[in-house]
Amino acid sequence: MNLPIETPALLFSATSLILLAYTNRFLTIATIVRGLKVSYEQNQTKSILLEIKNLNLRITLIRQMQMFGVLSLFFSVFAMTLLFTGIQDWGTYMFGFSLLLLLISLAISFWEISISANALRVHLSDLIEEAKQHTKKAN
pLDDT average, residue stretch 71-78: 92
Please, are residues 24 and 74 in contact by the beta-carbon 8 Å criterion?
no
Domain around 70 = 6-138
Does an H or E element contain 28, and which?
helix 6-42
**Whole-number pLDDT of residue 50:** 79
**Whole-number pLDDT of residue 37:** 82
* 87-123 per-position pLDDT tens digit: 999 999 999 999 999 999 999 999 999 888 887 777 7
Write the DSSP string, 71-97.
HHHHHHHHHHHHHHTT-HHHHHHHHHH
Q: Is 86 part of any domain?
A: yes
Does an H or E element contain 41, and which?
helix 6-42
Q: Is 1 part of any domain?
A: no
What is the number of structural domains in the chain?
Answer: 1
